[in-house]
Amino acid sequence: MRLLLVEDEQRLSEALAYILRKNNYLIDIANDGITGQEMAESNIYDVIILDRMLPGKEGLKVLKDLRKQNITTPVLVLTAMDEIKDRVEGLDSGADDYLIKPFSTDELLARIRALGRRKSEQLQNGNIKASSFELDPLNCEVLVDGQTIKLTLKESQLLELLMRNKGKVITRDQILSRVWGFDSEVDMNNIEIYIYYLRRKLNFKDTGIRIETIRGIGYCFKEDNNV
Ligand code: CA
């Protein structure tokens, strides 16, 4: 999952980014409301963590403007205790959930998992399931028929992106920006190689699952329910 954290307290944002990366989330940080909104408008994030009090533009205004543009990414608003009386106002702006500062990292991780679940077939433990395959993004592993297949971090992130968008075509540009990031040196050929590795490692033969190549466009994760 790719997350956007919009938070102006640098020590907090760095600490959160460290913890989230350790949990294998891809995370981008913005330190003010205007930059945060610009990044969120790219619509590449699975969850946005948005502080309320931000320089440049207040969090709830950013949220309102995103919703106006039909950006439906789940948003978790970080709010101080004394702002909580404005809770209703926040929900009206389109927030999906709230977290009151200070919060525990376990609580934050649980809320992110819950918001991510709304978009895909995610299990309680954070794993993503398709047919007999279960991807464990935290440990970069696929569990299938009692076997554990180890993936690299990038393989796991790529498979997660495809599985979360089952049945939808993901373009190569989307894969580049969501798995490798905006400024990455990786080129299109690398994606092909990673897909090749995934297919070889996971051996989808006779499982009803496949990663389809959409020539010149991208890839699509498919699950055939009749198998
Ligand atoms: Ca703040």
What's the CA-to-centroid distance between 76 and ligand 1, angstroms? 14
What's the CA-to-centroid distance between 64 and ligand 1, angstroms? 17
Task: Give pLDDT, residue 227.
Answer: 46
What's the CA-to-centroid distance between 89 and ligand 1, angstroms? 18
What's the CA-to-centroid distance between 12 and ligand 1, angstroms? 10
Residues, CB within 5 angstroms of ligand 1 (ion)? 8, 51, 53
pLDDT digit string (tens) for the chain, length 227 residues: 899 999 999 999 999 999 999 998 999 999 999 999 999 998 889 899 999 999 999 999 999 999 999 888 899 999 886 666 666 566 667 788 888 888 999 999 999 988 877 655 667 677 888 888 899 999 999 999 889 999 999 999 999 999 988 888 899 988 988 898 866 777 778 899 999 999 999 988 778 889 999 888 899 998 876 54
Query: Domains in the chain, start-ordered, CATH in brackets?
Result: 2-124 (3.40.50.2300), 128-223 (1.10.10.10)
What's the CA-to-centroid distance between 69 and ligand 1, angstroms? 24
Task: Give pLDDT, residue 91.
Answer: 64
What's the CA-to-centroid distance between 102 and ligand 1, angstroms? 12
Task: Give pLDDT, residue 120.
Answer: 56
pTM above 0.85, yes or no: no
What's the CA-to-centroid distance between 66 and ligand 1, angstroms? 19
What's the CA-to-centroid distance between 22 and ligand 1, angstroms? 23
What's the CA-to-centroid distance between 58 and ligand 1, angstroms? 9
Task: Give pLDDT, residue 201.
Answer: 93
Query: DSSP letter string over the chain?
Result: -EEEEE-S-HHHHHHHHHHHHHTT-EEEEESSHHHHHHHHTT---SEEEEESS-SSS-HHHHHHHHHHTT----EEEEEEGGGGGGHHHHHHTT-SEEEEES--HHHHHHHHHHHHHTTS-B-TTS-EEETTEEEETTTTEEEETTEEEE--HHHHHHHHHHHHTTTSEEEHHHHIIIII-TT----HHHHHHHHHHHHHHH--TTTTEEEEEETTTEEEEEE-TT-
What's the CA-to-centroid distance between 54 and ligand 1, angstroms? 5
